[in-house]
Each structure stands twice: as C-alpha cells, then as structure tokens.
Amino acid sequence: IRLTAATLGTTDTRLNYEQPTVTGTAVTSFITSTTGNQNLKFVVSAANKTTKGVVTNVANLTNLISSTGVVDVLSDAPINVVSVESSVSSVKLASALPILDGNSTFGPDIVAKTGVELNSTVGGIGEMGAGLELVVSPGGTISGSASGSIWLNQMGDNFEVGTITSTTGRVKLYANKSILDTTADTAADISAVSVDLTALTGSVGSSGKRLDIDSSRNGGVGLVTVSAATDVYMEETTGNIYVASIVASTGTVQLVSQGGILDGAKTVFTKISGNGISLVASAGAIGETSNDLEIDLQGTSRLTATASTNVFVTEKLGALRITNVTGTTGAVRLTVAETSGLGDDLTLEFGNSIVAGTTAAIMAGDDINLMSGSSITAGNGSVTLTGDKPSLDPEGTTVTINGTINATATVSIVGNSQGATLVSAMDASYLLTTKLLARTPASVGSNAEIFSLTGFMAASLTGGAGDNTFDIGAWTGTTLTAIIDGGAGRDTVTATTDTDFTAVNALLKRVGSGDATLLNIENGVFRGGAKANKFNMSGWTLSGTVDGGAGAKIIDTIISNVAGSTMLA
C-alpha cells in the first residue's frame, strides 16, 4: 500500500487499513507521505486470525513520512517498524501486541522532532534482541509502556525521558549523549522489573534532576545496570535498589534510595565505580551483613554514605577516602581490600566523620589514617580498627589515630605484626603498653581515651603545645621501638621498668626492650624495679629523676659524667 495526501484520517476518525497474512519470505509494505497529520489504524479481520483468535498478520511500517504533522498509528496486530518520520512533530505508535524493529540495520527506525510515544498492551517494545533506534531532536521526550521488556536506543541527542514503564520485563535504554529526567516531580520516570541504562558520551540524570526509577516492580529483586561517560544521578523511588553495576567513567555517582542500596549480583566484584561516590539509603541499609556493597573510588575522590540502618562497604581497588559515613541506627563496617601492592589505605580527613548507631569496624589492606579533626563514633558498641588485613604485601601497616574515637564499649586497634606502627599526634599525655594506649587530651575536663592494642611493633607519639607526659615503661619487648616527640611545652618521658637504662637526650635504651627515640623532651623520669638496676645517664643533660625502685636487691647503680639537675631517689 502506498498513500500520498495532505492528511490521512483525523483524531476522531482514523483511516483504517489491513494487509493480509503472508508466508515464507514475502513481506507486506506500507508507505505514506503527507504534509499534515497521519491518524491511522491497522485492523485485523477474522481472515487474519486463527480459530483461537491469534493474530497472524503484521503491520509493517515501511516508510511513513509527515513533513509538518504527527504520525499516529494504532494497530491490532504486531508492529514492525522500518521507517517512521515526523519532521517537525511527534510519532505515536500503539499496538495490542509487540512493537519491534523491522530491519536489521543500525539506522533510525523512528525520527521525530518533539517526541516519541510507544505503547504495547501485550508484549514488548524492541525486545527481540534489537532495540528500536530513535532520532529525537533536543527537547523532545520519549515515553513508552509495555507489559514486556522495552529496548530503545536514542541515536541522536539526549534521551529525554517522559515516562517509561514495563510491568513484567526489563527496560534497556541507550543514549548517544545523556539520559535525562524531563520533569521536576519525584514520581518514577522508569519503572520495570530491572533497569539497564547506557549514556555513551554523557550522564544519567543531572545534578539538578536525578533520574527517578522503580527498578523492582511487582515486589521482585530487579537488577540495575548503569554506564555513563560522565556522572550518574539516580533515585530509587520504591524499596531497595539492587545494584548489578553502576559506572561513571569520568564523573561522580550520586545514588539515593527510598529503601536500601544492596549488592544485587551477590558477587565479589565492583558494583559502583566513580570519581566520587555518594550513597543515601533513606529507609534501609547500604550493603548487607554477609554481602558488602563493593565500590571503586577513582583517583583521590571520596565516599559519602548515609543509611537509616547499617553501612557495609568494601573498596575493591586502591584507597578509600571518607567524607562522612553514617549508619544511623545500625553498624558501620568499612573495608579496603588488600592487593599485592601498596596504597590499600583508609583515610578520614579533617572535619570528616564515621558515625554508627551501634558498632564501627574499619579494616584496611594497608594503612588507616584518622587525621586531626576527624572522628569515629559508635553510639552503642565498640570500635575496631584493623590494618594490614589480610597481608599480601611485605609492608606492615601504619595506623594513625590523630582524630578522636568515641565508643560506649571497647576501642580495639589491631596491627597484625609485620612491622606494624601505631601513630598518634595530639596535644595529650600518653600511657603506652604492649597491650594498651591511654591518651588524655590536654584540654581541661577531657577524659582519657583507652585503646586496646594487638600486633604492633612500633609506636610514634607526638604531643602538642601543652606540658605532655609520655609513660612508656610497659612498652617492652626486644623488637618494640618507639618515637616520642614532645612538641612544644615542657614535656616529660617516664619509664618504670625493672631493667637497666641508658639515657641520652635523644635516645632511651632499656635492656630487653627496643629503643625509644626522643625529640623535644625536656624532662625524664626513670624508675627501676626489684632487681639491681643500672642507670647510665652519661649522655643525659636534661632535668630528670632516677629512682632505683623498691624491693630486695644488691644495689642500684647510676653512671653519669655530666653535670646536671637529675634528681636521685
């Protein structure tokens, strides 16, 4: 059939047509050309139905063109789209059955200026292994609804989404540029059992308008797969979002869910990758107790995560830098996976925080860095920091705790040996033993922070402007070393150890213990024990006290050839 006219049909009275059922390689063709609107309907008579009422013919839209009007086609049969064009207006196709790509090329099946609207009552749209190719001009919206899956490719500009709904299938959208929300409301722009989006050179959503999706219709567990050249801004409007893969190649990922944000693939591979990741689970968790949400932060970007319950996140490749992480009523567990190289660190910088309603656990393949002005809070439980877990490289961990740690239960810091170093720099006084660090800030009214220690071979403690005291008497063991830096103020190093001492201004040696390097120390207090202890103070020119200690002994010995103000006890 070939039709040429000013218009074909009207909105009230469509032009009905029918083409017969063909067999073999024969294909019917339908070609139209108008300046104005085309309002058409493909009807199906009894001759083109089986005895059970199954439609046997197809509406092949071979080449439909309107230079100034709308192309609007209804069909009682499946629609095969070869070429439909509305040069300055829109294309509307509605079928009782599927709407499919009628050719095998990558050229456009539908061209429209102001928009495309597709509806399939029973079946899908572009679902048979080849999506419908569209070219819609900037500002034109694309909408579709189907009971089955929907696969649409915008080959022109941005894919500007009106409303796209699949009641039982998947929605798969491709855009040569970006996939964008065209409305300012919070209703779902895309609804389906699962969602697959690709923005080849642009973003999914925008900073001003997140793309709203409902990716688990009918109560299912629908997977979300997203790939964007730049940014991803999305919101799950109903329940959890189950992530298969979300990648922002050069931009950030900002994901909001009205439920939780979970690993839908349930594998150990990366689920979210971006140059900055922000996650908000308004009524649920991020990750699960037995299944962390795996991420990959690019470059020096950071993670922000807030959940109403738990946060369980693993950084798979490289460092994890935190802006703020909050598990409002639940636990927070942050892990940096270990690799054979270095740099698998977790860092919390000035002004940034980790807040858990219950417990907080931090694990890093290499180092943990809590910088000055940062904080970790466990509202109703313990805090555990574990470095170098597991150990796949030859370097030991450095755990830096310059920030504050608040917990209602114990605070445990695990170094896993292999040269593990504990670092603290704060205007505070310290008590260091092989199993414990007590740190009391110099500010008036501050309480001591108590940290349980396991597996550390070295410690570096630095004071501040106040008069700080460093008690390292119970930091003993031939392999244990320390660096003590008093900073400003009048600072004292003290050690009570039942052994022999050798002290110079910059170094304290005790038999049976590693060396302690001393910096900016103005005073020393050294005490022995029950044994006959020897104190070699020949290189100590600072003020101090030497106390032989109590107990039965032959004699304590002090050696000094330096005139000074050391007090003997």
* pLDDT one-digit tens code per residue, 464-475: 999 999 999 999
Q: Is the pLDDT of residue 446 over 70?
A: yes
Average pLDDT of the residues of the chain: 94
Q: Let me know: does 18 contact 44? Beta carbons within 8 Å.
A: yes
Q: Peptide bond before 390: cis, by omega within 30 degrees of 0?
A: yes
Is residue 423 in some structural domain?
yes
Is residue 346 in some structural domain?
no
- Residue 103 DSSP code: S
Is residue 407 in some structural domain?
no
pLDDT over 70, % of the chain = 96
Is residue 544 in some structural domain?
yes
CA 489 to chain centre: 43
Q: Is the pLDDT of residue 562 over 70?
A: no
Q: Is the pLDDT of residue 202 over 90?
A: yes
Is residue 345 in some structural domain?
no
Q: Which of 157, 175, 196 lies at the terminal end of a domain, its last residue?
A: 157
**pLDDT tier for residue 563 given thresholds of 50, 70 and 90:** low
Q: Which of 137, 157, 177 lies at the terminal end of a domain, its last residue?
A: 157
Is residue 385 in some structural domain?
no
**pLDDT tier for residue 83 given thresholds of 50, 70 and 90:** very high
Q: How many domains does the chain have?
A: 2
Q: Is 79 exposed, middle or buried (0-12, 13-18, 19+ CB in 10 A)?
A: buried
Is residue 439 in some structural domain?
yes
Cα torsion 39, 45, 50, 51 to 10°: value is: 140
pTM: 0.93
So what's the pLDDT on residue 127? 78
Domain assignment of residue 565, given as a range: 419-569
**pLDDT tier for residue 569 given thresholds of 50, 70 and 90:** low
Sign of the torsion formed by the C-alpha atoms of 235, 236, 241 and 243: negative
Sheet holding 79-81, edge to edge: 59-61, 79-81, 99-101
Q: In the block, which residue shows the tokens 């925008």?
A: 206
Q: What's the token pair of residue 423?
A: 């670092």
Amino acid occupying residue 299: G
d(CA 321, CA 345): 8
Q: Let me know: does 296 contact 270? Beta carbons within 8 Å.
A: yes
Q: Is the pLDDT of residue 509 over 60?
A: yes
**pLDDT tier for residue 554 given thresholds of 50, 70 and 90:** low
Q: Which of 95, 130, 157 lies at the terminal end of a domain, its last residue?
A: 157
Question: End-to-end alpha-carbon separation of the chain, Å?
Answer: 115
**pLDDT tier for residue 337 given thresholds of 50, 70 and 90:** very high
**pLDDT tier for residue 558 given thresholds of 50, 70 and 90:** confident
Contacts made by residues 102-105, CB under 8 angstroms, sequence distance 24+: 102/60, 102/61, 102/62, 104/130
d(CA 104, CA 106): 7
Number of C-alpha atoms within 13 angstroms, CB side, residue 195? 27
Is residue 433 in some structural domain?
yes
Pairing, β 428-433 against β 436-441? antiparallel
**pLDDT tier for residue 113 given thresholds of 50, 70 and 90:** very high
